[in-house]
Homo-oligomer: A and B are copies of this chain.
């Protein structure tokens, strides 16, 4: 069956070709006036400076880990897997960001012609990032798998390098998410606090010394960070599904390749979908974007049938334990994944759109002050976890009943196969956000600013929606990783002749085992501690921006009158240093936690207790991580849009006390939704994948 590998590789190349085509289209558009290009250049420069520095730091950590994996714990093939995952995850973010910082000014220029033209450039830029993410991820996994097959790797020699590939992607992703998140929200919160609140100047006003940093942040956080994140989820989940297939269906290569074929098919449907993103007569931007998304989803469901027939045969029978199922069951698992995606998108929109009760209740609560705004926002953020949890639970039950644990894996794989389109919707956000900033700073026509604002408002929703999807898929993907951990462990314990370390290991994952309870509690703690670190880092970074901006207002006369230019690069520089410094320790938390817990429990009790405890910890991280992440991203989105709703003239509109309260809520929501919340995604998976690697290492 491994001859079918040509298909995902061709599809991956197609995604890159689409990226090249769309890049040409974006870059050939007009970059506007000299003033606009100057501003855009400043943003570009800041973004590149930040990203170079970030990758340098990550690179150093990465090289150490590469050496340890290649020459210490494992071998060079495993090390290479790690390097491929890390480098391509970084590349996805890097290229995406580079497109984004060139598309922003072109979107602003195109908006002079009209809404349609602005949308076209901005969405194309997003689609480039989206398709690069899935294309590179699929190429990485399928390509490296092909290499491993060609050198005759089997068993652990096949699994370990692929898991290491996932680990490489995860490691980059958590650094990018957290570093980018701290940068972007440090800048945003800092700029808002002094600019909007103290000095009373509008957002993106060129007199604000932190304004360039704020625009740089959109690119390094929302674009590069999200790209690395979804690259990782995609790669890790595909690998975990393949590992499960290799355990459940020994000798049946078809099921190993099946997830790769699904990924390949959905790249084609995503490319088709991008051409359906068109403004209709109603000029509804969200409608235009959803059209592309829906076309992709429906075509993917349709494509799943022939792909399943080709890869595994619709009527072929499979067995896992006592459960028998057919290719049809797997097809329906894929459909379940698509339905879960649709439902998660819907519920996130309900909780974060200005149309519905949640956001409006926060806006109403703003009338009675800052305190009630924040209380209501926190209430909504907690409430927003309930329906997604039920959707995920339903997805688990349905796909498990269709095809046992492998059914869950296929559902998540299919869910993630849409990542190209979803990232396109997300990466569109920072482009329009920047375009608005450039329009404001370059003093462009009121009409242009109106168009960029309209594009940007939708960007807020798509960003929130993507986060809901990213977390849902991360949670489910982590469950697949967890299943891989338990199955691996069972396999090692059964074959102690081959894996002598596991001699006498009797893992007891029962909830009645106190070490399982201990593991659940320790795992549950991690997202809280990690979230706390992220929030503190943003608070600290923002505080230093506030101090710097106040200093510039004080020491550089003429800024407020517009006669002197603020020193933008100082703020960019400060944030770069702060973000890089602050991202390291929290990022290492999920890497070290499984290892430390394993050895501590081993010291107190024995191997069996230690493996049970680490396993439970993985699930503990998933359980609280899911709630922490959903509450943070949904709550943050709701706060943001409650402010927008008031700015649209409700509850008194701009300049009232209600508006001031809503700005406070928005500020609080910023690190929630753009730093701590989304960084929980890679965190959940890193904990799981490190545990998986730990097993591999002990078995080695």
Closest to A516 in B: B511
- Once the chains bind, are B511 and A615 in contact (CB under 8 Å)? yes
* A128, CB-defined interface residue at 8 Å: no
Of all chain B residues, which has the CB nearest A544? B368
How large, as a class, is the contact surface on chain A? 35 or more
Complexed CA–CA distance, A483 and B483 (Å): 25
A534 → chain B closest CB, angstroms:
8
Contact B520 A664 (CB under 8 A): no
Name the interface residues of A188-218: CB closer than 8 Å to any CB of B.
189, 192-193, 197
Asked, given contacts A389-B525, A516-B511, A521-B392, whether A623 binds B626 with beta carbons under 8 Å apart, the answer is: no
Q: Do the beta carbons of A532 and B383 come within 8 Å of each other? A: yes
Check A374–B189 contact: CB distance below 8 A. Answer: no
* Contact partners of A531 in chain B: CB under 8 A: 379, 382
Cβ of A193 and Cβ of B372 under 8 Å apart?
yes
Q: Please determine whether B189 and A375 come into contact, CB atoms closer than 8 angstroms.
A: yes
Instruction: Give the contact stretch, choosing among A29-37, A39-47, A393-401.
Output: A393-401
Residues of B within 8 A of A389 (CB): 521-522, 524-525
Give the residues in chain B near A583, CB-CB below 8 Å.
none
Known contacts A535-B382, A623-B520: A528-B631 contact under CB 8 Å: yes
Binary B-proximity of A473-507 (CB < 8 A = 1, otherwise 0): 00000010011001000000000000000000000
Chain B nearest CB from A507 CB (Å) reads 9
- The answer to whether A532 and B379 touch across the interface, beta carbons within 8 angstroms, is yes
Indicate if A538 sits at the interface (CB-CB under 8 A): yes
- Contact at A626–B365, with CB atoms within 8 Å? no
A169 interface contact, C-beta 8 A: no
Query: Is B524 a contact of A623 with CB atoms below 8 Å?
Result: yes
CB neighbours (8 Å) of A511 from chain B are 482, 486, 509, 511, 516, 615-616, 619
Q: Is A374 within 8 A of B374, CB to CB? A: yes
Complex: A370 Cα to B381 Cα, angstroms: 19
Instruction: Decide if A233 is an interface residue (CB 8 Å cutoff).
Output: no
Question: For residue A313, which residues in chain B have a CB less than 8 angstroms away from its CB?
Answer: none
Contact A528 B382 (CB under 8 A): yes
Please, which residues of chain B bring their CB within 8 A of the CB of A412? none
Nearest-neighbour CB distance to chain B for A411, whole angstroms, equals 12
Instruction: Tell me whether A396 and B512 are in contact in the complex, defined as CB-CB below 8 angstroms, given that A193-B369, A369-B197 are known contacts.
Output: no
In the complex, A627→B525 CA distance in Å? 7
A512 to B381, CA, bound (A): 30
The answer, among B371, B520, B525, B668, for a CB contact under 8 Å with A390, is B525
Contact with B along A438-477 (1 / 0, CB 8 A): 0000000000000000000000000000000000000000
A408 at the interface (CB under 8 A from B): yes
Closest to A538 in B: B375
Q: How far is the CA of A627 from the CA of B520 in the complex (A)?
A: 12
**A217 smallest CB distance to B (angstroms):** 16
Complex interface residues of chain A between 332 and 390 (CB less than 8 A to chain B): 361, 365, 368-372, 374-376, 378-383, 385-386, 389-390
Separation in Å of the A123 CB from the closest CB of chain B? 32
A368 touches B524 (CB 8 A): no
Residues of B near A620 (CB, < 8 A) are 623
A563 to B672, CA, bound (A): 48
Instruction: Provide 16 A-B residue pairs closer than 8 Å at the C-beta atoms, listed in order of the A residue.
Output: A193-B369, A372-B539, A375-B542, A375-B667, A376-B535, A378-B535, A382-B532, A385-B525, A392-B521, A397-B514, A397-B515, A483-B512, A509-B511, A511-B511, A511-B615, A520-B520
Sorted nearest first, the 7 A-B pairs with minimum C-beta distance are A371-B667, A379-B535, A383-B532, A382-B532, A509-B511, A370-B664, A379-B536
Question: Which residues of A come within 8 Å of B, CB atoms?
Answer: 189, 192-193, 197, 361, 365, 368-372, 374-376, 378-383, 385-386, 389-390, 392-393, 396-397, 400-401, 405, 408, 479, 482-483, 486, 509-512, 514-518, 520-522, 524-525, 528-529, 531-533, 535-536, 538-539, 542-543, 546, 604-605, 615-616, 619-620, 623-624, 626-627, 631, 663-664, 667-668, 671-672
Given contacts A374-B668, A382-B531, 9 further A-B contacts (CB under 8 A): A189-B372, A369-B664, A370-B370, A372-B546, A393-B522, A396-B518, A517-B619, A521-B626, A524-B624
